[in-house]
Structure 1
């Protein structure tokens, strides 16, 4: 690794400063309750996310022998700086004052990208959202900010990090599975996921009694029940997945089959359980229940099949059930989440032994959630910043969103946890495609001042806007920009009869180029675009177009939401913007 860039002003606050190097160029800690605390990771989350974004190449990486291969972050040649702002021993895990202090320090130190797998409660007004405040200061300095959408899905309107200057990232599955199979006494086989702690993957397939005594397997729920030496079926919910296995083990159970609730559908995860376990879908869990009720002596076993790669007949990537969904509640003129990326069963660096968490022995571990998808997109942003150093944060966001994939590896629509086509409140613009994002053709750019006009357009008071931008603002002297008029690379429309929006695109593709509009209108809505042809004669030239959305007279749709897209296509590019319409 080369030395840090000349602009770098960061610090290394480890007692042993040699822990910093040309890869880890900064490490700082922000804890008002314990100012002398070192920036050491005590739960693994920060190490995992940091290495996902910018970890170096490591050969023979695995999780207790599972999924062996070469590991690397998305931007392995990027420098990395760590800002510790969460301290679980202080009453509040991540204090707002510590978060803001860390973000401000990162700005002053000279970072290019912030990856923040933290979020406020869904529905927090922007002026009370510390992530919105800290990230606004960042984008004013040209720093890209990527944040997790949250893990409160699949219910709608559960997003965190709604601010339009933040890239809000949802989570999808991979085409890799860590397969654990539940084999029943009647010969039925149900593939799920889990990670084996067994040193010998060829463990005997011994059928054991199968019971379903307590649906959630919570604290004390198995007390007094005879589960010793048996396979216990547990339902997902309330209690953590791994904690359920611990309850089964403590009660003497030999193995666990963990089934989804109906809301989680087919979204299964590979956890490092404390006993042999298989996490199966809701549909398969219902079949296992039916088997238990059909025979006097039900039996089962759990067999680990190791790592498998799905072929093009499968549905990867697919939405994770836990990934928070739109629509946005505080930024109703902005479609959120912006984009999705890999967040299921992500293997990345871990600071402790998996056999004994009290032992510092760097290894790898698997984690799931939008905390994991966020650093994937942060790494892509770092690559784009390196390739296009003059691009603004909004330009980088636009490049990723307008080139995102809405189909899976089989060429079919990306599906949700129910195996139904995922809507824009789940996938936003789609699944990130880094190669296409590096050459998007056109970009939608936004200046920081435009966001201030947007905030005034939300009807915020001067004081509320001032809290976000951290200076005095007079909205009476500021242009008020309706949310839907922000030059965003997507459309979120609340429609009575008709509305018109304008957008301006900048040519960053081929100097001399012509784009024609392609419209897939939302059901029951007419969409017209003027002009329908955009011509460019040089790089960085701009063109403006207007989009009118009109509700069809015979539209009697019961569903309150409908969706579509607009794409500007040339002989080389397709620049796509998703549309969400809320019918009034």
Structure 2
């Protein structure tokens, strides 16, 4: 269950970037503490229950450290991808993760990606994700340029940059991220995004795509099969999202996912759809 005080999406600063990324255990965690705020002679124990991001964050950081130990050459983006694309959307009883932050009369509802991100971290699967979405410095420079960062602001991240070298179509939504945000507005009912995945398993593999989308969206993935012949090989695919909503439709957001699968791996990316008028 996503606890009631957990931060929620959508992303207020960059709506095209899905947040949160992932969730982890963070409530009523037995934690060691130094007792710095209590005189030694009055301290009765060395452990207590803690809740919040101060508990969830070290869980995720610890898993990331384990992945880095096994895969020393992986970039932070590859590690993030492994965490997200292998995350669980079901709890340990195989039921949907629910959202404790819902306060309406219907009780707890299924947690959407705006509450749970890609899902709950699963360390064992994250060590062997099959495919990853990588992103390097150039990708982030393009991303910052798409947000209209000034020359001075860009130099804080890329000292050698005097201006934006290029602005790619679809950015910032086109950043090679392990999730998608598709925003429809009065100007367009079609969004096309491209992603690139890298094979990180130790052998050749073939993946087929599956997806789930709301009835108001038609999804076309090209190609529908990715065949990798060797480790570290990269393949790109394009997704066209077409809104079928009428002008008087009251839907403001909905969700789905895109998944690349074979018998050994499932690489799942959440998709958030938003309609703005």
TM-score for the superposition, normalised by structure 2 = 0.90
Is structure 2 residue 9 aligned with structure 1 residue 326? yes
Contact 1:332 1:483 in 2 (8 A): no
Match of 1:430 in 2: 119
2:38 to 341, 354, 357: 357
Deviation at 1:359, TM superposition (A): 1.5
Match of 2:128 in 1: 439
Other structure's SS at 1:382 match: helix
Contact 1:462 1:472 in 2 (8 A): no
Other structure's SS at 2:24 match: strand
Structure showing greater relative contact order (alpha-carbon pairs closer than 8 Å, 6 or more residues apart): 2
RMSD: 1.8
Deviation at 1:479, TM superposition (A): 4.0
Q: 1:352 to 1:330 in 2, by over 3 A?
A: same
2:82 to 387, 399, 403: 399
**Aligned ranges 1:138-149 → 2 under 5 Å:** none
Match of 1:474 in 2: 162
Query: Separation in 1 of the partners of 2:203 and 2:89?
Result: 28
* Structure 1, gaps ≥5 residues long: 1-317
Query: Separation in 2 of the partners of 1:340 and 1:553?
Result: 31
Match of 1:576 in 2: 268
Query: Separation in 2 of the partners of 1:404 and 1:556?
Result: 36
Query: Separation in 1 of the partners of 2:247 and 2:117?
Result: 25
Q: Deviations over 1:205-252 (max 9, x none)?
A: xxxxxxxxxxxxxxxxxxxxxxxxxxxxxxxxxxxxxxxxxxxxxxxx
1:546 to 202, 217, 238: 238
1:529 to 191, 210, 221: 221
Is structure 2 residue 14 aligned with structure 1 residue 343? no
1:566 to 236, 258, 263: 258
Q: Deviations over 1:522-554 (max 9, x none)?
A: 341111100000111111111100001100154
1:459 to 144, 148, 153: 148
Is structure 2 residue 66 aligned with structure 1 residue 383? yes
Query: Separation in 2 of the partners of 1:339 and 1:383?
Result: 17
1:505 to 197, 222, 225: 197
Deviation at 1:520, TM superposition (A): 0.4
Deviation at 1:465, TM superposition (A): 2.6
Match of 1:495 in 2: 184
Other structure's SS at 2:109 match: coil
Query: Separation in 1 of the partners of 2:190 and 2:237?
Result: 17
Kindly tell me the number of residue pairs found equivalent between the two proteins: 264
TM-score for the superposition, normalised by structure 1 = 0.44
The structure having more radius of gyration, on CA atoms, is 1
Deviation at 1:470, TM superposition (A): 6.2
Match of 1:411 in 2: 94
Q: Deviations over 1:246-298 (max 9, x none)?
A: xxxxxxxxxxxxxxxxxxxxxxxxxxxxxxxxxxxxxxxxxxxxxxxxxxxxx
Query: Separation in 2 of the partners of 1:520 and 1:476?
Result: 36
